[in-house]
């Protein structure tokens, strides 16, 4: 999730911070090392930002983790644009059935740089990383907010800390089998699946 005002600061480095279990969930969205993504029609207008953000992560990780697909059935991640999100969120990532929902009212008033930053942040969740603006330690939390992608710094520059955290999280979290993933994806009662199916 991301939805905080940008705080500008380029001061001290965040690279010496120790990674902890409070920074990750249990699962990531990769399958065979990749995350195939599908852009639903209601998110097509954000295709330039999605393309920019996925390429940024691929370059940072040194690996083509994100690959586009035109077949939703082959995807582990679907982008949707919606006005059904809570007003505090510019975007939300759901890791069970693989959805990134972009809040159209926020995206519409954001400039390109911020739209790109929202997508970069939400993609960070697909590796299993948590929101660092919710980190338990208050001092670190304050620094994360200013300096890290997952802290909600609204940057389009993926720094070495962001990259290391993503790689570390991918190792700490597990991938879902096709059976487990399809179980979630086919559960039409799930909030995000309802959103995708136009029932929210």
User: Are the C-beta atoms of residues 69 and 185 closer than 8 Å to each other?
Assistant: no
Binder among 53, 131, 161, 170 for Zn ion (CB under 5 A) = 131
Q: Does 2 bind Zn ion (CB under 5 A)?
A: yes
Q: Does 165 bind Zn ion (CB under 5 A)?
A: no
User: Are the C-beta atoms of residues 150 and 121 closer than 8 Å to each other?
Assistant: yes
Q: Does 101 bind Zn ion (CB under 5 A)?
A: no
Buried b (16+ CB within 10 A) or exposed e, 130-151: bbbbebeeeebeebbbbbbbbb
Piece in contact with Zn ion (CB under 5 A), picked from 80-88, 125-133, 156-164, 192-200: 125-133
Piece in contact with Zn ion (CB under 5 A), picked from 42-50, 70-78, 129-137, 169-177: 129-137
Half-sphere exposure at residue 99, Cβ-oriented, CA atoms within 13 angstroms:
24
Piece in contact with Zn ion (CB under 5 A), picked from 40-48, 62-70, 131-139, 182-190: 131-139
Considering only residues 9 through 48, tell me which ones interact with Zn ion, judged by CB under 5 A.
none
Measured CA to CA, the distance from residue 27 to residue 6 in angstroms comes to 28
**Footprint on this chain of Zn ion (rule: CB under 5 A):** 1-2, 131
């Amino acid at each position: 999730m991301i939805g905080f005002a940008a705080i500008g600061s380029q001061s001290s480095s965040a690279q010496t911070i120790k990674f902890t279990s409070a920074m990750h969930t249990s699962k990531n969205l990769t399958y065979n090392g990749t995350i195939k993504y599908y852009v639903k029609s209601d998110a097509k207008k954000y295709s330039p930002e999605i393309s920019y953000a996925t390429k940024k992560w691929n370059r940072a990780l040194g690996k083509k983790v994100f690959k586009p697909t035109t077949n939703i059935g082959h995807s582990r991640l679907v982008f949707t644009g919606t006005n059904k999100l809570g007003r505090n969120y510019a975007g939300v990532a759901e890791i069970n059935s693989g959805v990134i929902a972009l809040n159209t009212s926020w995206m519409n008033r954001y400039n390109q740089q911020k739209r790109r930053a929202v997508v970069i942040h939400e993609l960070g969740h697909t590796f299993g990383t948590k929101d660092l603006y919710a980190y338990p330690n208050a001092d670190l939390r304050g620094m994360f907010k200013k300096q890290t992608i997952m802290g909600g710094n609204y940057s389009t520059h993926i720094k070495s800390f962001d990259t290391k955290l993503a790689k570390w999280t991918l190792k700490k979290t597990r991938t879902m089998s096709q059976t487990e993933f399809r179980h979630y994806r086919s559960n039409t009662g799930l909030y995000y699946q309802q959103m995708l199916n136009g029932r929210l």
